[in-house]
Amino acid sequence: MIAKIPKADAYGGVLVNAKGEVLLREPTQCFGDYAWAFPNGKPHKGEKPDQAALRIVREETGYCARIITPIPLAFGGQEPNTLAEGQMMLPGIFTTAFYLMEPLGRQGKLEKEITTTRWINFEKASDLITRSTNKIGRERDLAVLRAAKEAFEKLPDADRPATCKEDWKTLPMPRRRRKIALNITYDAGAMKRIRKGFLPVVMEDKWFAWFEEPILHLHRSWTGFCIYEVNFIPDRDGWRANFASVNRDAKQYTCADDDMERQEILGLIDRLLLHVC
């Protein structure tokens, strides 16, 4: 990571997804006079800032996460004053620093102090945060939101959040399926792009892809049907696409030629994920 997290009293995370949405959590009974806010808290004894932030995000949102980059600002309680290059400290006793993160896998259980969470775009997130009656906390969280949006917009494509199951309306692979061999190896760079998945943005984008170790899921974007599940295993030269499960439910998918399916799967990986024409 290039940026450095500033020293603070507490640490937290701003989760962003492939659709450019942020995750807010709703404290039970508006604890602390917060309506919606970002997960944050004090580190345990001996915890490093990144360890504390990842733990707190997991406890308060149910998501295991990966740090994309630190937000190089420390946030406190009142109007911001720039104290030094690369660091913004708000006057007050207590300060909080945040990491920009992406979710890994599916959402787990929330701790009892959190009622629910919500994925929402940056503009609507601002509206939810303004519902907090804690004025100092509200202004801090709005400042965090602005800083997170700026950091997100500066991310190169390689560092953008990967897709996840929750990014699209999907159906699981049906019981009627067929297993076909693939046996093709991808290097670490290609595997990094494969793990990013694919999010359709126009009607002509007919596929949605998301990766959950060790399986790449490929769905039809219009229906949500899962057509292929590609299984990857570590290989001496990188990662090997070992085999694929292919949808054989005639009500969802009709092709039944293994060679055609094999070429289609490898072609989708090349076009959608590796951007090979």
| pLDDT one-digit tens code per residue, 9-52 | 999 999 999 999 999 999 988 777 788 999 999 999 999 999 99
Does residue 188 sit in the same domain as residue 269? yes
Name residue 87's beta-bridge partners: 84
Contacts of 67 (CB under 8 A, 6+ apart): 1, 13, 50, 53, 54, 99, 100, 101
pLDDT at 105: 80
Least confident of 42-46, 102-106, 197-201: 102-106
pLDDT(88) > 60 = no
Report yes or no on 3 lying in a domain: no
- The number of residues in the chain equals 277
Does residue 145 sit in the same domain as residue 68? yes
Does residue 133 sit in the same domain as residue 216? no
Does residue 134 sit in the same domain as residue 204? no
Q: Which two tokens stand for residue 73?
A: 């600002």
Does residue 134 sit in the same domain as residue 255? no
What's the pLDDT band for 84 if we cut at 50, 70, 90?
very low
- pLDDT, mean of residues 40-66: 95
Alpha-carbon gap, residue 110 to 116, rounded angstroms: 8
Report yes or no on 244 lying in a domain: yes
Alpha-carbon gap, residue 66 to 44, rounded angstroms: 19
User: For a pLDDT cut of 90, what percent of the chain falls above it?
Assistant: 73
Report yes or no on 126 lying in a domain: yes
Does residue 34 sit in the same domain as residue 124? yes
Does residue 140 sit in the same domain as residue 171? no
pLDDT at 6: 87
pLDDT(82) > 90 = no
pLDDT at 277: 64
Name residue 240's beta-bridge partners: 185, 233
Does residue 21 sit in the same domain as residue 144? yes
pLDDT at 217: 98
* Span 142-181, pLDDT tens digits: 999 999 999 999 998 888 999 988 899 999 999 999 999 9
Alpha-carbon gap, residue 244 to 54, rounded angstroms: 33
Could you tell me the residue range of the domain that residue 236 belongs to? Answer: 165-273
pLDDT at 90: 44
Could you tell me if 37 and 122 are in contact, meaning their C-beta atoms sit under 8 angstroms apart? no
Does residue 24 sit in the same domain as residue 83? yes
Report yes or no on 159 lying in a domain: no
pLDDT(126) > 90 = yes
Of 116, 131, 154, the domain-final residue: 154
Q: Work out the angle between the directed axes of helices 122-129 and 135-153 (0-180°, nearest 10).
A: 170
pLDDT(87) > 60 = no
Give the phi and the psi of residue 145 in degrees, each rounded to 5. Answer: -60, -45
Total count of domains within the chain: 2
